[in-house]
A and B are shown apart, each in its own frame.
Chain A
Amino acid sequence: MSPVTQVPAERPPVALAPTQPITLHINGQDHFLTIAPWTTLLDALREYLALTGTKQGCDHGQCGACTVLVDGKRINSCLSLAVMQEGADIQTIEGLGTEENLHPLQQAFIDHDAFQCGYCTPGQICSAQGLINEGKAKTEDEVRELMSGNICRCGAYSNILTAIMEVLGNKEDGAEVSNAPMPKQEWSAGAARAEMGPVEPAK
């Protein structure tokens, strides 16, 4: 045996990471994983399930790039452990639309050029969907305040605001809503794709 592979007798064996089996319900599908408890929901999505649409930015809950919807509510997936999300209904950007059938927010972001590098965009869109689900923001000022958990270092804020206001069905001058917010169930978190509102592909 080569000396290189000899392990000194006094060194304790390295303990295996304690893993546990969990089931995550993501975008309408169950995923079975055996992971260490310190795995964040963000890492579970990206590293174990290849759902890389959700981005890692600051990893400390400050930038919002990792925003996903859990039971219809937006959260920072970097500050939640995957083991804490068993039984929850998780929706990521991959569950919000398809290339053929874009989600209204995705279409609005394209129409209004609401990004440059695009890294924060999945988080912005998931956050905007969470904002719509909450039904609290109606004016431009309210949307700005309730989108403050999403940082865009390219500074595309004004176009992001315009895109969200369009989907909210508001006037761009920030006037109070003239019509009721779009029905939540059309594209609320966890809805099967077929249940999403009819959206014409961009052409």
Chain B
Amino acid sequence: MNSFTFTQAPAVDAAVQESVAHDGAAYIGGGTNLIDLMKENVARPTHLIGLKKLGLDAIETLPDGGLRLGALATNADTAWHPEVEKRYPLLSQAILAGASPQLRNMATDGGNLMQRTRCYYFYDLATPCNKREPGSGCSAIGGYNRIHAILGTSEQCIATHPSDMCVALAALEATVRVSGPHGERTIPFEDFHRLPGTTPHLDNTLMPGELITGLDLPAQGFEKHFSYLKLRDRTSYAFALVSVAAALELDGNTITAARLALGGVAHKPWRDQAAEALLVGQPATVDTFRRAAAKVVEGAQGYGSNDFKIELARRAIVRALKQAAEMNQELDSNAFLNSNP
């Protein structure tokens, strides 16, 4: 770890001012990813701004029937919050599919959005990486890329966003609330994370000094028909190779609303609204689900070791939509082991 100074910010405004005043400053919430990156010298902040005293850890109902998650609420407190469990079980399930109990007790909801890719070349200072050092090259393209992206990639970066929680937030159309040097604003979840393009060093659309203060969930929680299906090398405490957040509203057997987002396949949580449109108005059948799945993987590209992800994603989408429609899945990700798509 490099040398740095630490301040516990007393309020949001003060935190933002601290950030503006120090070149190389970083906010620290739970620290579970940032401290790890600092130990590897991938992140080298000169000044850390602690957020613990800001409050911002409440989870409260909004006047429009939605729910506001404070940015400093921990992942564990969010997943096990009675309102989240009851009204947004997709979010609860996605959070509990990620990390370990210890990490979820430290990691904050705002920090979950800010975590960086687990691409092994990004972590390895001895190898070129455009995300870590713009212009140095991408070692994953042509390298070992089993965990890498198949959708929305660029010639400069094929890293994935590692979050499970964010896949559910994308499907639920959350809104990100931020405070910065120029005041407050909100960012639709879809616009928060970026594709790599020619600027893979930028993970998201936050401006310098901006701080996430909360996440707003709309009233529609899809609590009747949902599934978070996570496929990984072991069934606990591993990052997704492919994950699917599927949420449906049904009138009889007709789909009246649909959300579909994938994790482990792109530089951002990959929501596909064109595929969702193919579901709405259709009967909830495997044929319908297959058409939507085909749409999602239409432009997918493998890079060698991750070619398998295209077929895996297609099948996982069908499975997750089927689980969401039938709601007879065991509420854990082992369910996929017990039957075929």
A residues whose Cβ falls under 8 Å from a Cβ of B: 15, 17-18, 20, 36-38, 40, 59-61, 64, 67, 70, 73-76, 79-81, 83-84, 86, 127, 130-131, 134, 136, 144-150
Contacts and interface: CB of A to CB of B under 8 A. Distances in A.
Interface of B: 1-6, 8, 28, 30-32, 35-36, 38-39, 48, 50, 52, 76, 80, 99-103, 105-106, 236-237, 332
Nearest to B36: A60
Given A83-B50, A148-B237, 9 more contacts: A17-B3, A75-B106, A79-B35, A79-B103, A81-B48, A84-B28, A130-B105, A134-B76, A148-B236
Contacts of B8: 83, 86
A66 B102 CA distance: 10
B86 to A, nearest CB: 15
B106 A80 contact: yes
A68 to B, nearest CB: 9
A131 B32 contact: no
Given A75-B106, A79-B31, A148-B237, A38 B1 contact: yes
Nearest to A38: B1
A130 B106 CA distance: 13
B31 A75 contact: no
A67 B101 CA distance: 10
Looking at B2, B4, B32, B105, which has the most chain A CB atoms within 10 Å of its CB?
Answer: B105
Given A84-B31, A84-B50, A148 B105 contact: no
A147 B101 CA distance: 8
A127 B101 CA distance: 9
29 contacts: A18-B3, A37-B48, A38-B3, A38-B38, A40-B35, A61-B100, A67-B102, A70-B105, A73-B76, A74-B105, A75-B102, A76-B103, A79-B36, A79-B106, A83-B6, A83-B8, A84-B50, A86-B8, A127-B102, A130-B101, A131-B101, A134-B80, A136-B80, A144-B236, A148-B236, A149-B100, A149-B101, A149-B102, A149-B103
Contacts of B52: 84
A81 B102 contact: no
A146 B5 contact: no
Nearest to B103: A61
B100 A64 contact: yes
Contacts of B3: 15, 17-18, 36, 38
A60 B1 CA distance: 13
A61 B36 contact: yes
Nearest to A131: B101
B235 to A, nearest CB: 9
A150 B103 CA distance: 11
Contacts of A17: 3
A136 B103 CA distance: 16
B43 to A, nearest CB: 12
Contacts of B103: 61, 76, 79, 149
Contacts of A73: 76, 105
A28 B22 CA distance: 37
A17 B39 CA distance: 17
A15 B31 CA distance: 26
A188 to B, nearest CB: 15
A63 B147 CA distance: 21
Given A37-B4, A148-B236, A81 B31 contact: yes
A-B pairs with lowest CB-CB distance, top 6: A149-B100, A37-B6, A148-B236, A148-B237, A73-B105, A38-B1
Nearest to B332: A145
Contacts of B39: 59-60
Looking at A36, A131, A147, A148, which has the most chain B CB atoms within 10 Å of its CB?
Answer: A148
A76 B104 CA distance: 10
Contacts of A18: 3, 5
A56 to B, nearest CB: 12
A148 B100 contact: yes
Nearest to A73: B105
A103 B3 CA distance: 40
Looking at A17, A70, A73, which has the most chain B CB atoms within 10 Å of its CB?
Answer: A73
Contacts of B1: 38
A28 B31 CA distance: 25
A37 B5 contact: yes
A134 B101 contact: yes
A79 to B, nearest CB: 5
A15 B38 CA distance: 20
A127 to B, nearest CB: 7
A23 to B, nearest CB: 13
A79 B32 contact: yes
A109 B80 CA distance: 28
B95 to A, nearest CB: 13
A18 B101 CA distance: 33
Contact of A149 (B6, B38, B237): B237
Contacts of A147: 101
